[in-house]
Amino acid sequence: MTKPNIQPEGWLANRSKPPTPINAKRLLTTLGFSQAAVCREITHPNGKHPSPVVMSQILNRDIWPIHTSRYWLRNQIAVLLRDQGVPEEKIETAFEIDETPNQLQAIPPSTTRKLAEDSSPIAYIDELPEPEMLSHKAKKHFRLFQDPFVDDVQNTDDLFLSEEHRYIRETMFYAARQGRFIAIVGESGSGKSTLRRDLLDRIGRERHPISVIQPRTIDKGRLSAGAICDAIIDDLGEPRPKRSLEAKARQIEQLLTGSSRAGNNHVLIIEEAHDLNVQVLKQLKRFWELEDGYKHLLGIILIGQPELQRKLDERTNWQAREVIRRCEVALLEPIDSNLKEYLLLKFNRISKPIQEVFSDDVYDAIRKKLTLHRRGSQQVVSMLYPLNINNVVRRAMNLAADLGVPKVTAEIVREI
């Protein structure tokens, strides 16, 4: 694909401008011209055609290159419209913003992402691309019969495990088997739920005598000690919980002790644990302290977003220090250095050579796209988590298909 004759400080620096399609886009689309086809119809005096990405910026965002005459480009597009029989009155308004409601929504805008509040008053990260499904047009363009990121984990061979993921995977298994108390913390889309499903699959597949207890309360902010008691009693097969909390506690201790002496282990898993209130966090210590001799009767695995890490920080939540000092926190880090390996696994799974989809410069471009700045700060934060990577790749593949270019390039990634 021909590179545009422009400098980064031009329209590339304004790629976050909200979508403002011009009327010419709708007119050309109606005539059956793709953005790549428009480029082929326009030839600069130096013999080169505009880049499809440049044309995408013009038609979709009303952003024009700084080293090519805007007047000349407008005239070339107008000539193309005129040659196709477009009336002069429509050509006169072709370069105004298109106010058609559906057209204005043609390209989903980037969203502003708010990270969980921390000790700093500035905790905003901008420009994470919104989720977008892989279009039928993109599947056909790249000769795919399925989205590589949909139903992408069917067995352990499909599970991407960096060195960090392998460590946390074993940490979770050790907690379930040995009655430890841990918290798995990661951004949304970092793979927490996938690791939980892997743990459950491993316990069943390898036939470990581990009973898994998972409270089903949807709003974890409403989860109480009584609800946790009921979940333990129900999941251990006891038909009827006692009425008072004291009686339930005695019932649980008897159930866990008897099951443990029969050779079983037990683990309590709570997802969305960042929503737990402080009182419940403090009460979890009482559950974990249930013992038979030297053996803990119940392991606990909390799974949550970064807010959970702050709740487990003694400096800001000193009233829960008893439980905080007993809970190990494991962080799921971004997969920066494993980006290519991650994508290779996803595309190998659907038997698609990755080099047929991406040019070699794509990986660095994705890293830059997902390395973001906190608003009002020089601090950079990597958001290279699986869900974000999937979103960027889908959007880039959709744009490549719309432009009619054979591969996703770094230039396309920069423009999504």
Instruction: State pLDDT tens for residues 339-365.
Output: 999 999 999 999 999 999 999 999 999
What are the distances in angstroms from CA 264 to CA 172, 181, 199, 254, 291?
17, 17, 16, 14, 13
The reported pLDDT for the residue numbered 63 is 85
Counting Cα atoms < 13 Å in the Cβ hemisphere of 382 gives 16
Has residue 102 got a pLDDT over 60? no
Per-domain residue ranges of the chain:
11-104, 111-154+335-415, 168-331
Q: How confident is the model at residue 18 (pLDDT cuts 50, 70, 90)?
A: low
Question: Coil, strand, or helix at residue 299?
Answer: strand
Has residue 5 got a pLDDT over 50? no
- pLDDT tens profile 252-268: 999 999 999 999 999 99
Percent composition of the chain: helix, strand, coil (DSSP 3-state, to 5)? 50, 10, 40
280 token code pair: 């419940």
Architecture of domain 111-154+335-415: Orthogonal Bundle (1.10)
Q: How confident is the model at residue 16 (pLDDT cuts 50, 70, 90)?
A: very low
Q: How confident is the model at residue 374 (pLDDT cuts 50, 70, 90)?
A: low
The reported pLDDT for the residue numbered 373 is 72
Sign, Cα dihedral of 152, 371, 332, 116: negative
The reported pLDDT for the residue numbered 4 is 38
275 token code pair: 């929503």
Has residue 47 got a pLDDT over 60? yes
Closest CA to 191 of 324, 365, 330: 330
Contact call for residues 270 and 302 (beta carbons, < 8 A): yes
Question: Coil, strand, or helix at residue 406?
Answer: coil
Give CA–CA dist 136/7, Å, rounded.
34
Residue bearing the bigger pLDDT, 370 or 245? 370
At which residue do the structure tokens 């990986």 appear?
363
CB atoms within 10 A of CB 135: 17
Give CA–CA dist 135/187, Å, rounded.
26
CATH number of 168-331: 3.40.50.300
Residue bearing the bigger pLDDT, 269 or 245? 269
What is the average pLDDT score of the chain?
A: 83
- pLDDT tens profile 148-178: 999 888 888 888 988 888 999 999 999 999 9
Burial class (CB in 10 A: 0-12, 13-18, 19+), 365: buried
Concatenating the DSSP letter of every residue in 71-118 gives: HHHHHHHHHHHHHTT--HHHHHTTTSBP--HHHHTSSPPPEEEEPPP-
Question: Coil, strand, or helix at residue 268?
Answer: strand
Whole-structure pTM value: 0.70
Closest CA to 379 of 123, 24, 84, 83: 123
Q: How confident is the model at residue 116 (pLDDT cuts 50, 70, 90)?
A: very low
Closest CA to 161 of 133, 211, 129, 202: 202
- pLDDT tens profile 396-410: 999 999 888 999 999
